[in-house]
């Protein structure tokens, strides 16, 4: 399911996106921070229960995550600091969207929605943490990748849930449950990879 395995298929498209958007004169870091702005706008519409508009702005946020890296490669401005900043902002974007979901009233599915949202948030953070911790403790030489779902997968699943919420908010609640479960399974998979 993880999209990172198919990144090579999108490399030519990424180059083209980078060429087009680099013409606008913004730096890769400026594109990165712009995704934060659109995430906040998305949350506003989520809190208004305007899920169609929220979904559109989440889609733009996801697209901007492609743009920053594409512009960096197209303009040969890829840096370690830029990649680090991009990773940090990505986590903020996801946290901001989860915060927006905490504000609204989602239906209870076995447990209150707040429990599922916490598990989703915890799983998303731990997916990154177990990777960093394994490298810090010298359990692995290479960066751990893979598992059931990564950040891009989570964002796309969440996007689908937000769009479906315009039909029924129950769809979004079920998507949150799915994300809570799958993200934590991914954590366990990565722990297994590190310990092997």
> Domains of the chain: which residue ranges?
3-195
> Is 195 a residue whose pLDDT tops 70?
yes
* Residue 123, SS3 per DSSP: helix
Query: Mean pLDDT for the chain?
Result: 84
| Domain at 3-195, CATH class | mainly alpha
72-131 per-position pLDDT tens digit: 777 777 778 878 888 888 889 999 999 999 998 889 899 999 999 999 999 999 888 888
H helix or E strand, kind and range, residue 37: helix 28-47
What is the model's pTM? 0.80
Assess whether 90 carries a catalytic annotation.
yes
Q: How many angstroms separate the CA atoms of 48 and 70, rounded? A: 33
**Region label for 147, one of left (φ > 0), alpha (ψ between -120 and 50) or beta (otherwise):** left
- How high is the pLDDT of residue 4? 47
Which candidate in 86, 90, 138, 153 is catalytic?
Answer: 90
CA 94 from centroid of its chain's CA atoms: 5
CB-based contact 7:70 (threshold 8 Å): no
Distances (CA, A) of 189 to 4, 109, 196: 16, 25, 11
| 90 touches 125 (CB < 8 A) | no
């Amino acid at each position: 399911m993880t999209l990172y395995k198919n990144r090579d298929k999108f490399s030519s498209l990424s180059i083209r996106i980078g060429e087009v958007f680099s013409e606008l004169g913004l730096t890769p870091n400026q594109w990165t921070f712009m995704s934060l702005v659109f995430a906040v706008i998305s949350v506003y519409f989520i809190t208004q229960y305007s899920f169609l508009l929220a979904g559109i702005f989440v889609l733009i946020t996801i697209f901007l995550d492609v743009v920053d890296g594409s512009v960096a490669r197209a303009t040969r401005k890829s840096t370690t600091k830029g990649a680090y900043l991009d990773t940090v902002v990505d986590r903020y974007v996801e946290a901001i969207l989860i915060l927006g979901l905490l504000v609204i009233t989602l239906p209870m599915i076995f447990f209150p929605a707040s429990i599922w949202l916490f598990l989703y948030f915890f799983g998303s953070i731990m997916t990154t943490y177990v990777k960093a911790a394994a490298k810090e403790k010298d359990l692995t030489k290479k960066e751990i990748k893979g598992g059931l779902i990564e950040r891009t997968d989570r964002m796309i699943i969440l996007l689908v849930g937000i769009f479906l919420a315009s039909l029924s908010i129950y769809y979004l609640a079920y998507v949150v449950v799915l994300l809570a479960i799958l993200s934590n399974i991914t954590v366990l998979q990565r722990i297994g990879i590190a310990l092997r």
